[in-house]
Structure 1
C-alpha cells in the first residue's frame, strides 16, 4: 500500500482548501462545526443550504461516475477532500445515507430508470434518505425482519415497524428491507424497496436519547405504498442488495470522521493541560494511547479502502467498525475522567450539554448502532475465520 500523494493530489488538496476558505464565510461561517452525532438538530436548515451550495459547486458524490453526476475522483482525492473538509470545521452533512449508501447501491444494482429517477436528487441534495433496516427483535440480526410487503396491482403495500431509524423525521424517502414472500424465513424472501415517507400510512416517532436530542426514530408502516418498480434487484433478492449497501458503509468519509476524532482528542488534551490532570501519568498515558489508536485507525482505513478500490477487499474490512467504535466510546470515558466533577453538571438548565458531555453520552451507542460489537465479532468469526456458528436457541 502506497500512502504517498502525487503532485496532482497535492494540487487537488490546495484546490479543496482554497474553495473551503472562500466559501465558509458569511452565513456559512456561522455554522462551522455544527451538526454531527448527537447534534443533528443544530442549524439544520442552514446546513441543508450549505450542502446544496456544495452540490452546485460539484462537491457532492465525489467518487460516483461522471455520468451519474459525480466527479469520478480517485480514492486518495476523496480522502483528501474529507480530510480538508473536517480540518476546515465545515458543518456536518445532511445526506450521508443517500450519498454513501443508497446512491452507490443504485449505481451497482439499480435499473437505469431508478438511477435516472433518484440519483440527481441525491447529487443536488434535494431528496434526503433514511435506512429502514432494524426492527424490534431484529436489530443487528437483519435476517429476522418481520416488516411485510405484498404486491397489489402496480404497488407494494407495506406493514410493519422499523426502529433506530436515523434522520427519518427529516427524510423524503426510505430504503426498506421487507419480507415479500409469504412463509419465508431468515435471508430468503426479502426485498429492498424504495418508499416515500410523506404519505398516509407512514408515522415517525422520535426516540429521546441520552443527549436530549432525537436523531433516531421509530417508523411505523400501516398500509404504506410504493411503486411496483421501486424494488432494487429482483423481488426476494433483498438480502444480497442489503449486504451490498452495508459494504458501502465503511467508505472514504470515515477518514474525515477520524479528523473529527482527532479534534475531539486535541480538546481533551487541552483541558487536561489546563486543569492539571495532564500531570497524572495514567491520564497522560491514556491520551498517548488514544493518539496511537487514532494513527492505527487511519492506516487500517486507508489499507482497507485501497484493497476495496483495487477489487481485492479482504477480511480487514470486517474489523473497521469494531476498531473505531470502541476507540470512540473509550474517548468519551476519557473526556469525563479529564473533566472530573466539572463534567457532572450542565452549563445551564434544563439540559445544556457541552461538547465533552455530548461525546460521552452519544458514544455509548457507538458499539451498538450499525451492528453491535457482539454481532460484528460473530460475523468475523463465522464468515471471515470460518469458525463454527454460535449456537442459537
Structure 2
C-alpha cells in the first residue's frame, strides 16, 4: 500500500507513529485494543494532546486552527491512530460540528465554539435521529418556535431525539429542528441549532445496547428556550447544512484504519495458533479468509484515495460506508472465531471483551446511514433507478 504514497507521506507516517508512541497513555491503548470505548476523560486527554501538537483538526483550514493537510496526510493520520489504537480526533466536535460552523456559522459562533471544540473544553453530541423516523431523517418532528411575543430573541424547542451517542456527558447538542411545519417539501422547513444540554427542560435517558454498554441515549426537549443566536446559518436551511456535515465525514467513512487494525489483530491470532501447534490444514483456511478480507480492504482504500483525489465521482461515497461496514463485521467475526472459548467471555475479566466487540459490530452497518439506505442512494444517484 506504500506505493500509493510519496516519500514525504512515508516520512509523515513515521512522524505520526513516533508521536503516538511517545504520547498515547498505555492504559488507554490497552482499553481500546480490548474493544472498549474511549471514555470522556480519554477523549479530552487525547484531543488536547493532539491540539497541542497542532493536529487537533486534520481537515480544518489552518486559519481556524486546523492542519491544512491533503487527503493522503489525513488518511495516514487516521490509519496510524487506528493502528495504535488511539482515539481519532473527536468525531462530533471535529469531524461534524466544526466544519459546519466554519462554513455556515456566525463570527460569534466561530469565536466561541471553535477553540473549545479543538481543545475538548466542551464535548458535543448529534441530535438528528428521532423515534418513528427510521432512515427518513427529513420526517423529524422536534419543533423550534420563535417566541415573537417576547421579543423574538429565543426559540422554544419541544420534541425528542434518540440513539444520541454521548448525550449523557455532552455539554452541547447540535440538533435538527423543524422551524416551518407548513413547508411543502419537508426538507425545506428544517433548521440547524446549537442547544446547551444544561438548559432547563432537557432530559437525557440512557439506552443500554445489546453489548451491555451505555453509549446511546434518548433526549427530550420540554419547552427548552434557546437563544436565536444559536441558530446556525439561515432559518430553514438546516437540511443543506446536514448534508454538508454528512458529506464531510467521508475522510473516515470507510473505516480504513480501524479495519487495518482488526486485520493485524487477526494475523496475530493466526501466528499464535501456529506457535501453539495447531495443524497447518486448520490454520490455512483461516489465513485464506483473512487474506480475502485484506484484499477487499486494499481495494476499498484505493477507491477512497481516488475519490478524495478528485479522480472518481463522490456520488459513490455511500459505497465506502457500506463496504467498510461489511469488512469490519467480517473481520470481527473472524477474530471471535479464531479466539475460541475466550470469545465467549462478556465480562472482559482476564482477556479482551470480544463478545462485546462482536455485538457492537452489528450496529456498524446501521449508524451513519444503514447499508440498505446507502444502496438506495447509490441506485438513485448513480444508476438513476427509481
Settle same-fold status: TM greater than 0.5: yes
Structure 1 position 337, deviation (Å): 3.0
The match for 1:182 is 181
Map of 1:1-393 to 2, 5 A cutoff? Answer: 4-24=4-24, 28-35=25-32, 39-40=36-37, 43-90=39-86, 92-93=87-88, 95-152=90-147, 153-184=152-183, 186-252=186-252, 254-270=255-271, 272-273=273-274, 274=276, 276=278, 279-280=281-282, 282-307=285-310, 313-346=313-346, 354-388=352-386
Structure 1 distance, partners of 2:126, 2:8, is 37
TM-score by length of 1: 0.87
Q: Determine if contact 1:335/1:360 at 8 Å carries over to the other structure.
A: no
For the residue of structure 1 that corresponds to 2:250, the secondary structure is coil
Go from structure 1 to structure 2 and tell me whether the alpha carbon gap of 1:295 and 1:4 turns closer, same or farther (over 3 Å shift).
closer
Structure 1 distance, partners of 2:348, 2:377, is 44
For the residue of structure 2 that corresponds to 1:89, the secondary structure is coil
Structure 1 distance, partners of 2:208, 2:157, is 26
Question: How many residues are treated as equivalent by the alignment?
Answer: 377
Q: Determine if contact 2:155/2:225 at 8 Å carries over to the other structure.
A: yes
Structure 1 position 277, deviation (Å): 8.0
**1:335-375 alpha-carbon deviations (Å, 9 max, x no partner):** 333334543344678xx883432221111111111111111
TM-score by length of 2: 0.88
Go from structure 1 to structure 2 and tell me whether the alpha carbon gap of 1:36 and 1:201 turns closer, same or farther (over 3 Å shift).
farther
Gaps of 5+ in 2: none
Go from structure 1 to structure 2 and tell me whether the alpha carbon gap of 1:348 and 1:313 turns closer, same or farther (over 3 Å shift).
closer
Structure 2 distance, partners of 1:43, 1:177, is 26
Larger displacement relative to structure 2 (377-386 or 8-17):
8-17
Gaps of 5+ in 1: 389-393
Q: Which runs of 4+ in 1 moved over 6 A?
A: none
The match for 1:391 is none
Q: Determine if contact 1:206/1:214 at 8 Å carries over to the other structure.
A: yes
Structure 1 position 272, deviation (Å): 5.0
**1:134-177 alpha-carbon deviations (Å, 9 max, x no partner):** 11111321111111111112112111111111111121111101
Q: Determine if contact 2:342/2:351 at 8 Å carries over to the other structure.
A: no
